[in-house]
Each structure stands twice: as structure tokens, then as C-alpha cells.
Chains A and B, each alone.
Chain A
Amino acid sequence: MKKSVKAIIQVIMMITALFTFTAWQASSASAADNSLQRVKQRGELIMVTSPDYPPYEFQVNKGGKSRIVGMDIDVAKKVAKDLHVKLVIKSMNFDSLLVAIQTGKADMAIGGINPTATRRQSVDFSKIYYSGGQSFLINSSDVNKYKSVKNLKGATIGAQTGTLQYGLAKKKIPNSTVKGMDKSTDLVLALKTHKIDALGIEKPSAEAYVKNDPSLKMIPSGYHLNKNEVGAAIAFKKGSNSLVNAVNKSVDQIKQQHLTDQYLASAGKYMKVNTVNTSMWHYWTYFAKGVEFTILISIVATFFGVLIGVILALMRFSKQKWIRGLAISYTEFIRGTPLMVQVMFVYFGIGVVVNIPALISGMIAVSLNSGAYVAEIIRGGINSVAKGQTEAAESLGLSKSDMMRFVILPQAFKNIWPALGNEFISLIKESSIVSIIGVTDLIYQLNIVRADTYRGVIPIFVAMVLYFIMTFALTRLLNHYEGKMKHAG
């Protein structure tokens, strides 16, 4: 017991060391500013955004193809054009945008980001390219109740967690209760189901919602705010002065020529196109793509999970103490940390040293995670095989590996088949966590559709049905094979 604790502590220390190393790499990389030069040499400007925030950025289905559009995208296009490079758009969760530029996954993050003082501590910002102003969304039925901000006193107000709106509502609306959620689509749903009375949101977004949903109304916030904090700016990795300066030239032009008005207008056009048909059938390609990626990730993770699981389980039966210790530490560590953290660690943490694409990162993290659980299941299965089997194999002179391969593992797998099936099914569901790093699995696509259609509930229901179809089909398949194995023995 003591020894395993020691081994586990050693592994944790190793991981800490790796973290420190990656952090050091990240900081040393920023020591010399070659940010602009790097972009030009590459000939590509890589931006990250979270395309669930119309009219800033959102996805549209045009000619059967999904495209990210919006005011911010037009801003980025203009910047790329001025730098004479190609624009590459990566998408991921809003929470991950700043991490993505800090770890070098992208050159800049753009997504209606307010350059608050806190954020300025960790990233650099361009000049503000747009100030939309703040507003509140309310239900049309409450129009008489909440005529102006003053009436919101004591109300329950919703806002996106970690945003400016959240802090402002807390500070500026007396006696209010502020509820935070991750996605603006969820917040709108909360408003419509009267879980919150009003929703603090940027004016352009509010206008978009009002235009598309007659049950919503907008009231201006009436806040008096410092212009430097409330507008939207482009974020860069700390120490990217040369790139920031170059981008600022484009931002100046955008402001002088009032280009954002034009951009907003064209975004509005897309939104109109978008809301002509909000039936779920119209979005079937979105869901199909989500299902495709969810299945792809699950299959890959199942394969490698079982492979890793078998290896780890066999390591547990090794004669060498350190091999056993390694397997135990691995299993304990993986089981003791959330999959979400592992996904982010593989993508952002290891990504600093080796740049791994989001999809591969997700597959690696989910496989590594599943491996630990499968290992425990297999270990249990091996232990469940009668001791007489081992003795019979030994008395016949079979080598350890032949014994495992031909005698023990086939019987173990038969015994653990139901437990393994459970693991595969939870894999399909848990793989949804890769959406946070922008892998377009079913959950990610679900959020895109919700943002696109302004319909909060129906897409969730569709996703639910799709997940159920996948897991149920898998259950039937597993039962079929279980029956076959029973027959054989």
C-alpha cells in the first residue's frame, strides 16, 4: 500500500514537472517577438473563435456547406487581407479562446471579447474595433413590468459566466440575483422559461434575438461605462507587439470607414437566410456531421482503450514491481482526474511541445482515459478465470504469453463482456466533452444549431434521440455477440 502511494506521488511529480516545462516553453517562446514575422512566413493567419454568438460569429448552412460568418469574421478577413496572408478559422468554446492563443494554437482570438483589465494581464489586445453597447433582453409579456433598467431592481438577471455583462449586472443593478451560464442560447431559454427575468447581453446580439423571436424584447442598459473596457477587441498572446501593431492599422481603417456597420448588415442578411427554415430537418447535415465525429471518436477510443487496457492489465500481473507500480499509478491518476481536464491537458498542455490537432487530441485523451477503466475491468476478468485453468496451462508447458492469449484472456473477455459494453456505451456519451476544444462532435453541433435557429429545446431533443439510437444500436450489437459467446462455451 505504502509503496503504491509512493509510486503515485512520483508520477504526479513527473506530471508537474512536465507542466512546468510546458509553461516554461510557453513563456520562453514569447520572449522574442517574432509574431508578425511568423505569420508572414507561414502565409496564414490562424484565428480562433466560438461561432455561437450571432451576429458576431455564427455558422450558416449555405449550399449544403457549413460556413462561419459574422461581423468578427469580416474584421478578421480584412486584417488578413491587409497582412497579405490567408485567413484560417478554428472554432472552439469561448472559455478556451484565450488559452488557445496562449498555447500557440492560434495567432489571434476574436469573438466579441471585451478587453477587461483582468484579461489584459494574460493576453495582449488590439484597439477596440467595435462598441456595441449593453442591453437587456426581456420577455415580451413583461414589457409593462420592466419598462427600463430601473424596474430591474431586485430581479433575477442572467449573463454569460466570466463576461463583462455578468460583472456589470452584479455591480450596477441593485439587489439583483445574477445567474451565470456558459452559453447565450441556454440563457435565452432560461429567460423564455422565466427562470430569469432579464438577460444582460451585448446590443447587437440582443437585436438579433429580437429580430428572430417575437417573444423577446430589448431594453437599453443605460450603463455609463469606460469605452476602453466595453468594446470588442482582438486578443493575442502576450508579447506579440509586432503583430498587434500591424493589426491595429487595419482596426484604425475599420473605425475610420465605419466598416462594422457594413459587416453587421451582411451578417444580418445571413441571419435572415438562416431563419427562413428552422426545422430540424433543414439542419440534418449538422447533426449527421456531429454523429459522424462522435462515432469516429468512440470507435478509435474503444480500439485504443482496449489495447491500452489489456497492456495495463497485463502489467498488473508482471513480476517486476516497477511495472506493476507504473500501471497502478497510471490507472489511479487517470481515474482521479476529470476527463475534461485530461482533454484540455492533451490539447493545450502537450500541445505546446507538439502541436496536435483538436480531433487527434480528443481521441488521444478519450483513449487514454478509457484505457484506465478498461484495464480495471480486464483485471477483474482475469482474476475471475478459475485457478485450475492457469494450472492446466502451466502443466502443459505453455508459456505465460500463450497462456494469456489462448486460455485466460478469451475466458476473461467472455466474463467481462457486459461490463465492457457498459464502458463502450459511456464512451459514446462521455466523448461529448471533446466539444470544448472545438471538435465537431454531436454536442458541439447541437450548440451550433441552437445558436443558429434560436430554438433552445428542439435541438436538444434531437441530440438526445440521436445519442439514444447510437447507444441502443450498440447495446443490441453487444448482446448479439454475448449470445454468440455463450453458445461457444
Chain B
Amino acid sequence: MQDKKILEVNHLSKKFGQTDVLKDIDGTVKSGQVICVIGPSGAGKSTFLRCLNLLEKPTSGEVNFEGTDLTHVDDKHLVNLRERMGMVFQSFNLFPNMTVLENLKLAPVRVKHLSDEEAEKTAMHLLGLVGLEEKAHVYPSSLSGGQQQRVAIARALAMNPEVMLFDEPTSALDPEMVGEVLEVMQKLANEGMTMVVVTHEMGFAKEVADEVWFMADGYILEKGKPEELFDNPQNERAKDFIGKIIQNV
């Protein structure tokens, strides 16, 4: 089980106009693994993550999801594959025109064609998991940032995805709310969810990640187990970056 490849990226490149944002990236995510992607801002971390479910279309290279190269499937097929990858955004992106419960039920009912009762049951279970059962019938605008992000995680989980992509999930939160979101993510990791997390939370990376990837200037410069990468980085840029971060932790 541990060895099953969920995502495999080969020679991935992405240009925005003339600017190279990602340069020849390789990487493999295995089932049950938690990968944390760290690095200075402007390194291309978010773009990399968004290429994994093709919210950004790579300029060249392959993104294999369970053996299918996403860069070569048509739109319709892509929609089917995306529903198996959950994504959590920095800015939550809950649907403001729906209640929390409706946010959670929409995709299972419309995409997976679950019955209303089934979808509601799952949704309530997941809201329980993130500790927000009592907020089921309110609109997102009345929730705090941390609560909204927990709902967003529950919404992604409602599709029962095989991998969860987190794009700086705590960067837009007030400091006192970071903890509640990380707690939920840790719980998920403990339950064996495959996760790719772009984050600045080094403590979380150190504690939860199976592997940490260090990115800078559009390259993955170093990959390793957290204790190796944080305590004994090989790459100069990584050394420099971690040196600066550790002082603050």
C-alpha cells in the first residue's frame, strides 16, 4: 500500500509569458504520504501545486495521476479525475450563496449523484470531524477565517478524494486561528490521507510530513525526510532559508 504511486511528475515546466515559473520538476507522491512543499515566496510552490490538478496548464512535462497523464486528457475526462483530488485554497473559496451544509453537499449530489440523505449524512459526519456541526445551516460570511477553512477542508473531503492538495491553507488566517486548521490537517494525516501541502508552517512540516520538498527559483532543490532537511540541509539555498526560519521558530 505504501508503495502505490498516486502522483508522479516528470519534467514539469510552466511559463507565464516569458517567465519560467517551474523548471523541469520531478517528484513522486505515494499513497498515504504527506509531502510538505516549502521555500521562499516566488519559488513557484503554488503554481506547482495548481499544476497537479491542472488548474494551471503545464507548458511541458507530465502529471501522472494513478497512471493517467493529466496533460493529455480532454476536458470532460479531466473533470472526472479532478473530483478524486481535493483542494484547499489560501482564501477558502467557500460558495457564499450557500449554507455550510449546501457547500458540502453540492458536489457529492451533482457530481457523484448521491441522494440528498446520503450526502447530508456524509456532510454532517465531516462537519463533526472538523468540529463545526452546529454551523451546518449558517452562511460562510458569518464564520471566522479558521472556521471557513475547516469547512473548506470538509467540503473537499466530502468527495472522498484520494489525495488532498493544500495551497498555503493557513496564510490568510489570523495567528490565533492557525492552530485549529493545522490540528484538522494533522488528524487527516494520522488517518492515512495522502496530502501535498504548500506551507510556511515549519513546525507542522517537521512534525507531520513524511517528506519535505524545498523549492526555490522554479526548481525543487532538495527533497528529504524532515529531520534530515531541517537539521542538515545539503543545498546552499535550503541552508540559507532554513537558517532564517529556524531563528523565528
Contact = CB atoms under 8 A, between A and B. Distances in A.
Given A395-B55, A395-B85, A396-B106, A388 B159 contact: no
B97 A396 contact: no
Contacts of A156: none
Contacts of A392: 87, 89, 93-95, 152
- Chain B interface size band reads 20 to 34
Given A406-B106, A411-B97, A489-B141, A396 B83 contact: yes
Contacts of A478: none
Interface of B: 53, 55, 79-80, 82-87, 89, 91, 93-98, 106-107, 110-111, 139, 141, 152, 155-156, 159, 165
B107 A396 contact: yes
9 contacts: A388-B91, A391-B87, A392-B94, A394-B55, A394-B82, A396-B111, A397-B79, A402-B110, A489-B141
Contacts of A410: 97
A275 interface: no
Going nearest first, the 7 A-B pairs with the smallest beta carbon separation are A397-B83, A392-B93, A395-B87, A396-B107, A388-B93, A410-B97, A489-B96
Contact of A397 (B55, B97, B107): B107
Contacts of A393: 95
B86 A395 contact: yes
Contacts of A414: 97
> Counting chain B CB atoms within 10 Å of each CB, which of A389, A391, A394, A397 scores highest?
A397
A458 B243 CA distance: 86
| A interface secondary structure, majority | helix
A225 interface: no
Contacts of A388: 89, 91, 93
Contacts of A389: 93, 95
A407 interface: yes
A397 B53 CA distance: 10
Contacts of B95: 389, 392-393, 406-407, 411
A406 B93 CA distance: 14
A24 B221 CA distance: 76
A245 B146 CA distance: 89
Contact of B53 (A395, A398, A406, A488): A395
A317 to B, nearest CB: 14
A395 to B, nearest CB: 4
A389 B94 CA distance: 7
A394 B106 CA distance: 12
A395 B82 contact: yes
Nearest to B55: A391
A488 B155 CA distance: 20
A488 B53 CA distance: 32
Contacts of A396: 82-83, 106-107, 111, 155-156, 159
Contacts of B80: 397
A118 interface: no
A414 B95 CA distance: 13
Given A392-B152, A395-B55, A397-B80, 5 more contacts: A392-B93, A395-B87, A397-B83, A406-B98, A406-B110
Contact of A489 (B89, B93, B139): B139
B141 A395 contact: no
A399 interface: yes
Contacts of B152: 392
Nearest to A412: B97
B24 to A, nearest CB: 26
Contacts of B84: 397
Contacts of B110: 398-399, 402, 406
B111 A395 contact: no
Contacts of B55: 391, 394-395
A411 B139 CA distance: 13
A396 to B, nearest CB: 4
A402 B111 CA distance: 9
A398 B96 contact: no
